[in-house]
Amino acid sequence: MPHSVCLTYDFDAVAGWTSAGLPEYRSWGVYGAETCVPRLLDLHDRTGVPSTWFVPGHTIESFPEVAGEVHDRGHEIQHHGWSHDPLPSFGSREAERRDFVRGIEAIEELTGETPTGFRNPAGGFSEHTVDLLREFGFEWDSSGTERDLRPYYLRERGTVEPGQPYRRGERTDVVAVPVPWHRDDWLQLFPVASDPQFVSYGHEPDVFNRWRTELRWMREHVEEGVLTLLLHPQCAGRAPFVAELEAFIDDVSELRDTEFTDVSTVVESFSG
């Protein structure tokens, strides 16, 4: 089996900025939806590369034509919550479940299909998230970092007690396709003036060179490796990034042992 590269997009649009006090912050979300998504879809049309899009229900209902275009042009749409609020912030299983259901229903209304994959919208899982994934029959999740270049099975939430070793949770049948933070464009390239951790602006060629190095190492040392990139349209759709992304796609497309695929296809071939 060849190695896989998965291009995934968190199409958050304005959902990620709803708590921002300044209107110009929310304008980034509009820019992502109306300017960047069309650029990225055109790139995928030119190259024939599949991709996976995690779309909050808030985005689907705010920009239905743009979200519909993602689906109509052949890319899978998976669950990313409805509100894009951090899962622990709901405070109860019932509140988190309502957001789950509303997000699922938005995708079903748009695509006619029930999502099988999930990506946590912000922060980490709550104590209820894995149970909800199983309740709604999700086959896979792409949020975690327990591995970096191979899928694995998601586990129940582990426990840490003062003075006691870490206790891992029981393994589930939900496949986890890892996406480490160093493969997140947002954390490296998007300056957010309100957050002192993310005020620097990275250099796109440096980021892609790191990803190329990781891909090369994976091809040499990992059997049936999977390199997943986590991209955001309002970051990845800017001209400097699109240019580097197209060059990266061209480079990978020349490799005989590596192919682009969507996350669902990776999960279908995963045997543990």
- The distance from CA 230 to its chain's CA centroid, rounded to whole angstroms, is 5
Reading the chain (272 residues) residue by residue, the pLDDT tens digits are 799 999 999 999 999 877 656 677 788 889 999 999 999 999 999 999 999 999 999 999 999 999 999 999 999 999 999 999 999 999 999 999 999 999 999 999 999 999 999 999 987 899 999 999 999 999 999 999 999 999 999 999 888 889 999 899 899 999 999 999 999 998 888 766 555 555 556 789 999 999 999 999 999 999 999 999 999 999 999 999 999 999 999 999 999 999 999 999 999 999 87
Measure Cα distances from 46 to 35, 68, 233, 261 in Å.
Answer: 17, 19, 17, 16
Structure tokens of 149?
A: 């270049």
Q: pTM for the complete prediction?
A: 0.95
- Alpha helices (runs of H) in 87-167, residue ranges in sequence order: 93-111, 129-135
Number of H helices, E strands in the chain: 11, 9
pLDDT recorded at residue 81:
97
pLDDT recorded at residue 201:
67
| Best CATH choice for the domain 3-269 from the list 3.20.20.370, 3.40.50.10490, 3.30.70.260, 3.40.50.620 | 3.20.20.370
Contact of 115 with 79, CB cutoff 8 Å = yes
Contact of 218 with 3, CB cutoff 8 Å = yes
For residue 225, what are the contacts with CB-CB under 8 A and spacing of at least 6? 3, 4, 149, 150, 218, 219
pLDDT recorded at residue 197:
56
Instruction: Indicate the SS3 state at residue 230.
Output: strand
Structure tokens of 229?
A: 């990139």
pLDDT recorded at residue 22:
63
pLDDT recorded at residue 17:
77
Contact of 201 with 189, CB cutoff 8 Å = yes
Contact of 104 with 60, CB cutoff 8 Å = no
